[in-house]
Structure 1
Protein backbone atom coordinates (compact mmCIF):
# COMPACT_ATOMS: atom_id res chain seq x y z
CA UNK A 1 0.00 0.00 0.00
CA UNK A 2 1.49 3.31 -1.11
CA UNK A 3 1.32 6.08 1.49
CA UNK A 4 3.37 9.23 0.98
CA UNK A 5 4.88 10.09 4.36
CA UNK A 6 6.72 13.37 4.84
CA UNK A 7 9.05 12.40 7.63
CA UNK A 8 10.46 15.89 8.10
CA UNK A 9 7.01 17.45 8.40
CA UNK A 10 5.65 19.00 11.58
CA UNK A 11 2.53 16.87 11.02
CA UNK A 12 2.82 13.65 13.07
CA UNK A 13 3.35 10.50 10.99
CA UNK A 14 0.36 8.74 12.56
CA UNK A 15 -1.86 11.66 11.51
CA UNK A 16 -0.56 11.51 7.94
CA UNK A 17 -1.39 7.80 7.82
CA UNK A 18 -4.88 8.27 9.27
CA UNK A 19 -5.61 11.13 6.83
CA UNK A 20 -4.53 8.91 3.92
CA UNK A 21 -6.99 6.21 4.96
CA UNK A 22 -9.74 8.79 5.55
CA UNK A 23 -9.30 9.94 1.95
CA UNK A 24 -9.45 6.38 0.61
CA UNK A 25 -12.65 5.70 2.57
CA UNK A 26 -14.38 8.96 1.66
CA UNK A 27 -13.48 8.61 -2.02
CA UNK A 28 -14.84 5.06 -2.07
CA UNK A 29 -11.52 3.37 -2.82
CA UNK A 30 -12.03 1.52 0.45
CA UNK A 31 -15.65 0.47 0.93
CA UNK A 32 -17.82 -0.66 3.80
CA UNK A 33 -16.64 -4.01 5.23
CA UNK A 34 -13.34 -3.93 3.30
CA UNK A 35 -10.58 -5.39 5.44
CA UNK A 36 -7.50 -3.30 6.17
CA UNK A 37 -3.99 -4.76 6.43
CA UNK A 38 -2.87 -5.76 9.92
CA UNK A 39 -0.90 -3.34 12.08
CA UNK A 40 2.23 -5.46 11.64
CA UNK A 41 1.83 -5.53 7.87
CA UNK A 42 1.26 -1.78 7.65
CA UNK A 43 4.21 -1.05 9.93
CA UNK A 44 6.49 -3.13 7.70
CA UNK A 45 5.16 -1.68 4.43
CA UNK A 46 5.34 1.92 5.64
CA UNK A 47 8.58 1.62 7.55
CA UNK A 48 7.10 2.89 10.81
CA UNK A 49 6.58 1.42 14.27
CA UNK A 50 3.52 -0.61 15.22
CA UNK A 51 2.76 2.05 17.83
CA UNK A 52 2.51 4.69 15.09
CA UNK A 53 0.15 2.50 13.07
CA UNK A 54 -1.88 1.79 16.20
CA UNK A 55 -2.28 5.54 16.81
CA UNK A 56 -3.45 6.03 13.22
CA UNK A 57 -5.99 3.21 13.51
CA UNK A 58 -7.24 4.59 16.83
CA UNK A 59 -7.84 7.98 15.20
CA UNK A 60 -9.84 6.31 12.41
CA UNK A 61 -11.83 4.29 14.94
CA UNK A 62 -12.67 7.40 16.98
CA UNK A 63 -13.84 9.07 13.76
CA UNK A 64 -16.22 6.15 13.20
CA UNK A 65 -14.54 5.14 9.95
CA UNK A 66 -13.27 1.69 10.94
CA UNK A 67 -14.21 -1.08 13.34
CA UNK A 68 -11.90 -3.61 14.90
CA UNK A 69 -13.00 -7.14 15.75
CA UNK A 70 -10.74 -9.19 17.97
CA UNK A 71 -9.42 -12.23 16.13
CA UNK A 72 -10.94 -11.09 12.83
CA UNK A 73 -9.23 -7.85 11.83
CA UNK A 74 -9.92 -4.21 11.03
CA UNK A 75 -12.71 -3.25 8.64
CA UNK A 76 -14.14 -0.13 7.05
CA UNK A 77 -17.13 0.80 9.17
CA UNK A 78 -20.72 1.06 8.05
CA UNK A 79 -21.42 4.76 7.29
CA UNK A 80 -23.33 6.61 9.99
CA UNK A 81 -26.92 7.27 9.04
CA UNK A 82 -27.84 10.92 9.29
CA UNK A 83 -31.37 11.85 10.29
CA UNK A 84 -32.73 15.38 10.05
CA UNK A 85 -34.93 16.04 13.07
CA UNK A 86 -36.99 18.52 11.07
CA UNK A 87 -38.43 15.82 8.80
CA UNK A 88 -41.05 13.16 9.57
CA UNK A 89 -39.77 10.16 7.64
CA UNK A 90 -39.88 6.41 8.02
CA UNK A 91 -36.91 4.09 8.48
CA UNK A 92 -37.49 2.72 4.98
CA UNK A 93 -37.41 6.23 3.49
CA UNK A 94 -34.27 7.19 5.43
CA UNK A 95 -32.32 4.10 4.41
CA UNK A 96 -33.47 4.13 0.78
CA UNK A 97 -32.48 7.80 0.46
CA UNK A 98 -28.91 6.77 1.25
CA UNK A 99 -28.85 4.14 -1.50
CA UNK A 100 -28.99 1.32 1.05
CA UNK A 101 -31.45 -1.56 1.13
CA UNK A 102 -33.87 -1.48 4.11
CA UNK A 103 -35.33 -4.66 5.53
CA UNK A 104 -36.86 -6.00 8.72
CA UNK A 105 -37.18 -9.14 10.81
CA UNK A 106 -40.42 -9.54 12.73
CA UNK A 107 -39.91 -10.11 16.44
CA UNK A 108 -43.47 -9.66 17.71
CA UNK A 109 -46.89 -8.94 16.19
CA UNK A 110 -49.89 -9.13 18.50
CA UNK A 111 -52.59 -7.19 20.30
CA UNK A 112 -52.30 -6.43 24.01
CA UNK A 113 -53.77 -4.09 26.63
CA UNK A 114 -51.95 -0.76 26.79
CA UNK A 115 -49.87 -0.22 29.90
CA UNK A 116 -49.67 3.19 31.55
CA UNK A 117 -46.80 4.48 29.39
CA UNK A 118 -48.37 3.39 26.10
CA UNK A 119 -51.82 4.64 27.13
CA UNK A 120 -50.48 8.07 28.05
CA UNK A 121 -48.53 8.35 24.79
CA UNK A 122 -51.53 7.35 22.66
CA UNK A 123 -54.05 9.36 24.72
CA UNK A 124 -56.17 6.31 25.52
CA UNK A 125 -57.39 4.59 28.67
CA UNK A 126 -55.03 2.13 30.27
CA UNK A 127 -56.01 -1.40 29.26
CA UNK A 128 -57.31 -0.36 25.83
CA UNK A 129 -56.31 -2.89 23.17
CA UNK A 130 -53.44 -1.78 20.94
CA UNK A 131 -51.40 -3.50 18.26
CA UNK A 132 -47.76 -4.11 19.07
CA UNK A 133 -45.23 -4.58 16.26
CA UNK A 134 -41.63 -5.22 17.23
CA UNK A 135 -39.07 -5.48 14.45
CA UNK A 136 -35.33 -5.66 13.96
CA UNK A 137 -34.41 -3.09 11.31
CA UNK A 138 -31.55 -3.69 8.91
CA UNK A 139 -29.65 -1.66 6.33
CA UNK A 140 -27.89 -3.66 3.61
CA UNK A 141 -28.44 -6.70 5.81
CA UNK A 142 -26.73 -5.10 8.82
CA UNK A 143 -28.82 -4.77 12.03
CA UNK A 144 -28.97 -1.11 13.01
CA UNK A 145 -32.08 -0.73 15.16
CA UNK A 146 -35.00 -2.28 17.01
CA UNK A 147 -38.47 -0.73 16.63
CA UNK A 148 -41.07 -1.40 19.32
CA UNK A 149 -44.26 0.10 17.88
CA UNK A 150 -47.76 0.49 19.36
CA UNK A 151 -50.73 1.47 17.19
CA UNK A 152 -54.25 2.57 18.10
CA UNK A 153 -57.35 2.46 15.94
CA UNK A 154 -55.74 0.98 12.82
CA UNK A 155 -55.52 -2.47 11.29
CA UNK A 156 -52.32 -3.86 9.83
CA UNK A 157 -51.97 -7.11 7.92
CA UNK A 158 -48.81 -8.87 9.07
CA UNK A 159 -48.12 -10.61 5.76
CA UNK A 160 -48.52 -7.37 3.82
CA UNK A 161 -46.26 -5.49 6.23
CA UNK A 162 -43.57 -8.15 5.95
CA UNK A 163 -43.86 -8.00 2.17
CA UNK A 164 -43.74 -4.21 1.86
CA UNK A 165 -41.50 -3.35 4.80
CA UNK A 166 -42.69 0.23 5.34
CA UNK A 167 -45.36 0.65 8.01
CA UNK A 168 -45.90 4.31 7.12
CA UNK A 169 -46.50 3.50 3.44
CA UNK A 170 -48.96 0.78 4.43
CA UNK A 171 -50.89 3.10 6.76
CA UNK A 172 -51.02 5.91 4.24
CA UNK A 173 -52.33 3.54 1.56
CA UNK A 174 -55.17 2.77 3.99
CA UNK A 175 -56.00 6.46 4.21
CA UNK A 176 -54.26 7.14 7.51
CA UNK A 177 -52.64 10.58 7.24
CA UNK A 178 -49.45 10.97 9.25
CA UNK A 179 -48.96 14.69 9.77
CA UNK A 180 -46.58 15.37 12.64
CA UNK A 181 -44.63 13.79 15.46
CA UNK A 182 -42.81 14.56 18.68
CA UNK A 183 -39.52 12.82 19.41
CA UNK A 184 -37.31 12.53 22.44
CA UNK A 185 -33.77 11.17 22.21
CA UNK A 186 -31.71 9.75 25.03
CA UNK A 187 -28.66 7.57 25.52
CA UNK A 188 -29.13 4.09 27.00
CA UNK A 189 -27.03 0.95 27.36
CA UNK A 190 -27.91 -2.19 25.42
CA UNK A 191 -29.25 -5.06 27.50
CA UNK A 192 -28.30 -8.64 26.66
CA UNK A 193 -31.23 -9.22 24.27
CA UNK A 194 -30.74 -5.93 22.42
CA UNK A 195 -27.00 -6.56 22.19
CA UNK A 196 -27.54 -10.01 20.69
CA UNK A 197 -30.00 -8.70 18.10
CA UNK A 198 -27.80 -5.74 17.13
CA UNK A 199 -24.56 -7.75 17.22
CA UNK A 200 -22.87 -5.50 19.78
CA UNK A 201 -21.50 -6.11 23.29
CA UNK A 202 -23.93 -5.85 26.23
CA UNK A 203 -23.72 -2.36 27.68
CA UNK A 204 -22.78 -0.77 24.34
CA UNK A 205 -24.35 2.68 23.81
CA UNK A 206 -27.68 2.98 22.03
CA UNK A 207 -29.78 5.94 20.98
CA UNK A 208 -33.33 5.55 22.26
CA UNK A 209 -35.72 7.56 20.09
CA UNK A 210 -39.29 7.74 21.41
CA UNK A 211 -41.80 9.06 18.88
CA UNK A 212 -45.50 9.87 19.04
CA UNK A 213 -46.88 10.22 15.52
CA UNK A 214 -50.14 12.09 14.94
CA UNK A 215 -52.83 11.81 12.29
CA UNK A 216 -54.74 14.44 10.34
CA UNK A 217 -56.92 15.47 13.29
CA UNK A 218 -53.95 15.67 15.64
CA UNK A 219 -54.77 12.35 17.27
CA UNK A 220 -51.90 10.02 18.30
CA UNK A 221 -51.72 7.06 15.92
CA UNK A 222 -48.35 5.54 16.72
CA UNK A 223 -46.04 5.33 19.70
CA UNK A 224 -42.66 3.82 18.94
CA UNK A 225 -39.52 3.25 20.96
CA UNK A 226 -36.62 2.84 18.54
CA UNK A 227 -33.25 1.62 19.77
CA UNK A 228 -30.44 2.48 17.34
CA UNK A 229 -26.78 1.54 17.35
CA UNK A 230 -24.97 4.71 18.36
CA UNK A 231 -22.10 3.94 15.98
CA UNK A 232 -24.48 3.91 13.00
CA UNK A 233 -26.70 6.92 13.67
CA UNK A 234 -26.32 10.64 14.09
CA UNK A 235 -29.05 13.24 14.39
CA UNK A 236 -28.94 16.73 12.91
CA UNK A 237 -30.86 19.72 14.26
CA UNK A 238 -30.99 23.10 12.53
CA UNK A 239 -31.07 25.98 14.99
CA UNK A 240 -31.79 29.63 14.37
CA UNK A 241 -31.09 32.35 16.89
CA UNK A 242 -33.98 34.70 17.48
CA UNK A 243 -32.99 38.35 17.37
CA UNK A 244 -33.90 40.25 20.50
CA UNK A 245 -34.40 43.98 20.66
CA UNK A 246 -31.27 45.85 21.69
CA UNK A 247 -29.11 42.70 21.73
CA UNK A 248 -26.40 42.21 19.13
Structure 2
Protein backbone atom coordinates (compact mmCIF):
# COMPACT_ATOMS: atom_id res chain seq x y z
CA UNK A 1 0.00 0.00 0.00
CA UNK A 2 1.38 3.39 -1.02
CA UNK A 3 2.18 5.98 1.62
CA UNK A 4 0.07 9.14 1.68
CA UNK A 5 2.93 11.32 0.46
CA UNK A 6 3.43 8.98 -2.52
CA UNK A 7 -0.25 9.37 -3.43
CA UNK A 8 0.07 13.15 -3.22
CA UNK A 9 3.24 13.09 -5.33
CA UNK A 10 1.46 10.91 -7.92
CA UNK A 11 -1.45 13.36 -8.04
CA UNK A 12 0.90 16.30 -8.62
CA UNK A 13 2.76 14.39 -11.34
CA UNK A 14 -0.55 13.77 -13.11
CA UNK A 15 -1.52 17.46 -12.87
CA UNK A 16 1.85 18.48 -14.30
CA UNK A 17 1.52 16.02 -17.19
CA UNK A 18 -2.05 17.02 -18.03
CA UNK A 19 -2.15 20.78 -17.77
CA UNK A 20 1.05 22.45 -16.57
CA UNK A 21 4.06 23.92 -18.35
CA UNK A 22 7.67 24.39 -17.19
CA UNK A 23 7.97 27.13 -14.56
CA UNK A 24 4.22 27.15 -13.79
CA UNK A 25 3.57 27.56 -10.06
CA UNK A 26 2.17 24.64 -8.09
CA UNK A 27 -0.69 25.25 -5.66
CA UNK A 28 0.45 26.44 -2.24
CA UNK A 29 1.08 23.99 0.60
CA UNK A 30 -2.23 25.00 2.18
CA UNK A 31 -4.09 24.39 -1.08
CA UNK A 32 -2.44 21.01 -1.57
CA UNK A 33 -3.31 20.06 2.02
CA UNK A 34 -6.98 20.83 1.31
CA UNK A 35 -7.00 19.17 -2.13
CA UNK A 36 -5.55 15.90 -0.82
CA UNK A 37 -6.86 16.06 2.77
CA UNK A 38 -3.41 15.51 4.26
CA UNK A 39 -1.07 17.20 6.73
CA UNK A 40 1.54 19.84 5.91
CA UNK A 41 4.28 17.28 6.65
CA UNK A 42 2.82 14.90 4.04
CA UNK A 43 2.69 17.66 1.42
CA UNK A 44 6.27 18.67 2.13
CA UNK A 45 7.46 15.08 1.82
CA UNK A 46 5.64 14.74 -1.50
CA UNK A 47 7.22 17.96 -2.78
CA UNK A 48 10.66 16.83 -1.59
CA UNK A 49 10.20 13.60 -3.58
CA UNK A 50 9.34 15.57 -6.73
CA UNK A 51 12.29 17.93 -6.20
CA UNK A 52 14.60 14.93 -5.95
CA UNK A 53 13.17 13.60 -9.22
CA UNK A 54 13.81 16.96 -10.88
CA UNK A 55 10.11 17.45 -11.67
CA UNK A 56 9.74 20.61 -9.60
CA UNK A 57 11.98 23.20 -7.96
CA UNK A 58 11.61 25.54 -4.99
CA UNK A 59 12.15 29.29 -4.91
CA UNK A 60 12.63 30.47 -1.34
CA UNK A 61 9.86 32.82 -0.24
CA UNK A 62 7.97 32.35 -3.51
CA UNK A 63 6.77 28.78 -3.97
CA UNK A 64 7.27 25.57 -5.93
CA UNK A 65 7.40 25.48 -9.71
CA UNK A 66 7.30 22.91 -12.48
CA UNK A 67 10.77 21.90 -13.58
CA UNK A 68 12.11 22.29 -17.08
CA UNK A 69 13.91 19.77 -19.26
CA UNK A 70 16.43 22.54 -19.95
CA UNK A 71 17.46 22.83 -16.30
CA UNK A 72 19.01 20.00 -14.28
CA UNK A 73 18.63 20.17 -10.49
CA UNK A 74 21.07 18.51 -8.13
CA UNK A 75 19.95 17.33 -4.70
CA UNK A 76 22.36 16.84 -1.75
CA UNK A 77 22.67 13.10 -2.45
CA UNK A 78 26.17 11.89 -3.29
CA UNK A 79 25.72 10.86 -6.92
CA UNK A 80 27.82 11.08 -10.06
CA UNK A 81 27.06 13.29 -13.05
CA UNK A 82 26.10 10.18 -15.01
CA UNK A 83 23.65 9.05 -12.33
CA UNK A 84 22.14 12.56 -12.13
CA UNK A 85 21.52 12.77 -15.86
CA UNK A 86 20.09 9.25 -16.20
CA UNK A 87 17.72 9.84 -13.27
CA UNK A 88 16.34 12.85 -15.15
CA UNK A 89 15.85 11.01 -18.41
CA UNK A 90 18.85 12.57 -20.18
CA UNK A 91 21.63 10.74 -22.00
CA UNK A 92 25.02 11.56 -20.43
CA UNK A 93 28.27 11.62 -22.35
CA UNK A 94 31.79 12.95 -21.94
CA UNK A 95 34.57 14.40 -24.04
CA UNK A 96 38.06 13.87 -22.61
CA UNK A 97 40.05 17.12 -22.66
CA UNK A 98 43.11 15.96 -20.72
CA UNK A 99 44.30 12.63 -19.34
CA UNK A 100 47.64 12.34 -17.59
CA UNK A 101 49.64 11.15 -14.62
CA UNK A 102 50.73 14.35 -12.86
CA UNK A 103 52.22 15.50 -9.59
CA UNK A 104 49.46 16.73 -7.32
CA UNK A 105 48.97 20.52 -7.61
CA UNK A 106 49.42 22.26 -4.28
CA UNK A 107 45.70 22.76 -3.60
CA UNK A 108 44.98 19.11 -4.46
CA UNK A 109 47.87 17.81 -2.34
CA UNK A 110 46.67 19.81 0.67
CA UNK A 111 43.06 18.68 0.23
CA UNK A 112 43.98 14.99 -0.10
CA UNK A 113 46.78 15.01 2.43
CA UNK A 114 49.42 14.09 -0.17
CA UNK A 115 53.07 15.00 -0.50
CA UNK A 116 53.53 17.70 -3.13
CA UNK A 117 55.54 15.31 -5.30
CA UNK A 118 53.01 12.47 -5.10
CA UNK A 119 51.51 11.46 -8.42
CA UNK A 120 47.82 11.54 -9.24
CA UNK A 121 45.65 10.41 -12.12
CA UNK A 122 44.19 13.58 -13.65
CA UNK A 123 41.07 13.54 -15.83
CA UNK A 124 39.64 16.70 -17.39
CA UNK A 125 36.34 16.17 -19.17
CA UNK A 126 33.53 18.10 -20.78
CA UNK A 127 30.28 16.61 -19.47
CA UNK A 128 27.22 16.65 -21.71
CA UNK A 129 23.52 15.80 -21.42
CA UNK A 130 21.71 14.94 -24.65
CA UNK A 131 24.83 16.26 -26.44
CA UNK A 132 24.51 19.69 -24.77
CA UNK A 133 27.59 20.84 -22.78
CA UNK A 134 26.68 21.14 -19.09
CA UNK A 135 29.93 21.10 -17.12
CA UNK A 136 33.72 21.02 -17.18
CA UNK A 137 35.14 18.54 -14.70
CA UNK A 138 38.68 18.21 -13.32
CA UNK A 139 39.27 15.09 -11.21
CA UNK A 140 42.44 14.07 -9.36
CA UNK A 141 42.75 10.60 -7.83
CA UNK A 142 45.92 9.44 -6.02
CA UNK A 143 47.89 7.09 -8.26
CA UNK A 144 47.94 4.49 -5.49
CA UNK A 145 44.12 4.55 -5.52
CA UNK A 146 43.61 4.34 -9.29
CA UNK A 147 46.47 4.43 -11.76
CA UNK A 148 46.19 5.75 -15.29
CA UNK A 149 46.92 2.32 -16.75
CA UNK A 150 43.92 0.85 -14.90
CA UNK A 151 41.50 3.61 -15.93
CA UNK A 152 38.61 2.73 -18.23
CA UNK A 153 37.22 5.93 -19.73
CA UNK A 154 34.14 4.09 -20.96
CA UNK A 155 33.06 3.10 -17.46
CA UNK A 156 31.88 5.01 -14.38
CA UNK A 157 34.77 6.37 -12.34
CA UNK A 158 32.92 5.76 -9.08
CA UNK A 159 32.23 2.15 -10.09
CA UNK A 160 35.93 1.65 -10.89
CA UNK A 161 36.89 3.06 -7.51
CA UNK A 162 34.39 0.71 -5.85
CA UNK A 163 35.79 -2.31 -7.66
CA UNK A 164 39.31 -1.25 -6.64
CA UNK A 165 38.19 -1.29 -2.99
CA UNK A 166 37.82 2.49 -2.65
CA UNK A 167 34.07 3.12 -2.78
CA UNK A 168 33.20 6.82 -2.49
CA UNK A 169 31.13 7.12 0.68
CA UNK A 170 31.29 10.73 1.86
CA UNK A 171 32.16 14.07 0.30
CA UNK A 172 32.55 17.66 1.39
CA UNK A 173 31.59 20.25 -1.19
CA UNK A 174 32.02 23.97 -1.63
CA UNK A 175 29.80 25.81 -4.12
CA UNK A 176 30.57 29.31 -5.32
CA UNK A 177 29.72 31.65 -8.18
CA UNK A 178 32.41 32.38 -10.76
CA UNK A 179 32.80 34.11 -14.12
CA UNK A 180 33.78 31.84 -17.00
CA UNK A 181 37.06 32.34 -18.81
CA UNK A 182 37.10 32.64 -22.60
CA UNK A 183 38.18 29.01 -22.98
CA UNK A 184 35.55 27.75 -20.52
CA UNK A 185 32.84 29.78 -22.28
CA UNK A 186 33.80 28.25 -25.60
CA UNK A 187 33.72 24.72 -24.21
CA UNK A 188 30.31 25.26 -22.60
CA UNK A 189 29.00 27.10 -25.66
CA UNK A 190 27.92 30.24 -23.81
CA UNK A 191 28.86 33.90 -24.13
CA UNK A 192 32.28 34.89 -22.81
CA UNK A 193 32.17 36.09 -19.22
CA UNK A 194 28.91 34.32 -18.33
CA UNK A 195 28.29 33.34 -14.71
CA UNK A 196 28.75 29.73 -13.63
CA UNK A 197 28.73 27.52 -10.54
CA UNK A 198 32.04 26.08 -9.36
CA UNK A 199 31.78 23.02 -7.13
CA UNK A 200 34.85 21.69 -5.34
CA UNK A 201 34.47 18.22 -3.86
CA UNK A 202 36.78 16.15 -1.67
CA UNK A 203 35.60 12.55 -1.33
CA UNK A 204 36.53 9.83 1.10
CA UNK A 205 36.00 6.08 1.37
CA UNK A 206 34.13 4.17 4.06
CA UNK A 207 37.46 3.79 5.86
CA UNK A 208 37.92 7.54 5.88
CA UNK A 209 40.68 7.61 3.26
CA UNK A 210 40.71 10.68 1.01
CA UNK A 211 40.43 9.34 -2.54
CA UNK A 212 39.17 12.07 -4.89
CA UNK A 213 39.52 15.78 -5.48
CA UNK A 214 37.16 17.20 -8.10
CA UNK A 215 36.40 20.69 -9.31
CA UNK A 216 33.39 20.98 -11.62
CA UNK A 217 32.19 24.11 -13.39
CA UNK A 218 28.49 24.04 -14.25
CA UNK A 219 26.57 26.27 -16.63
CA UNK A 220 24.43 28.43 -14.36
CA UNK A 221 21.64 28.55 -16.95
CA UNK A 222 21.33 24.76 -17.09
CA UNK A 223 22.14 23.48 -13.61
CA UNK A 224 20.86 24.25 -10.12
CA UNK A 225 21.40 22.87 -6.62
CA UNK A 226 18.43 22.07 -4.38
CA UNK A 227 19.20 22.03 -0.65
CA UNK A 228 16.86 21.31 2.25
CA UNK A 229 17.85 22.83 5.60
CA UNK A 230 16.39 22.69 9.08
CA UNK A 231 16.67 24.94 12.09
CA UNK A 232 18.20 23.41 15.23
CA UNK A 233 15.94 23.22 18.26
CA UNK A 234 16.96 25.56 21.07
Superposition CA RMSD, Å: 2.2
Cα distance in 1 between the residues matched to 2:111 and 2:69: 33
Q: 1:32-87 deviations in whole A, cap 9, x for unaligned?
A: xxxxxxxxxxxxxxxxxxxxxxxxxxxxxxxxxxxxxxxxxxxxx852111112x1
Cα distance in 2 between the residues matched to 1:137 and 1:239: 29
Q: CA deviation at 1:134?
A: 0.4
* Residue 161 (structure 1) aligned with residue 161 (structure 2): no
Does the CA contact (< 8 Å) of 2:168 and 2:205 recur in 1? yes
Indicate which of 153, 166, 184 corresponds to 1:176: 166
Cα separation, partners in 2 of 1:213 and 1:95, compared to 1, 3 Å: same
**Larger-Rg structure:** 1
TM-score, length-scaled by structure 1: 0.65
Counterpart of 1:223 in structure 2 is: 213
Cα separation, partners in 2 of 1:146 and 1:159, compared to 1, 3 Å: farther
Counterpart of 1:138 in structure 2 is: 128
User: How many residues matched?
Assistant: 173
Cα distance in 1 between the residues matched to 2:79 and 2:135: 15
Unaligned runs of 5+ in 2: 1-18, 25-67
Cα distance in 1 between the residues matched to 2:149 and 2:178: 30
* Residue 79 (structure 1) aligned with residue 75 (structure 2): no
Q: CA deviation at 1:126?
A: 1.0
3-state SS in 1 of match to 2:153: helix
Cα distance in 2 between the residues matched to 1:240 and 1:178: 26
TM-score, length-scaled by structure 2: 0.69
Does the CA contact (< 8 Å) of 2:104 and 2:119 recur in 1? yes
Does the CA contact (< 8 Å) of 1:104 and 1:162 recur in 2? no
Unaligned runs of 5+ in 1: 1-21, 28-76
Cα distance in 2 between the residues matched to 1:221 and 1:208: 20
Indicate which of 177, 183, 202 corresponds to 2:192: 202
Cα distance in 2 between the residues matched to 1:139 and 1:159: 26
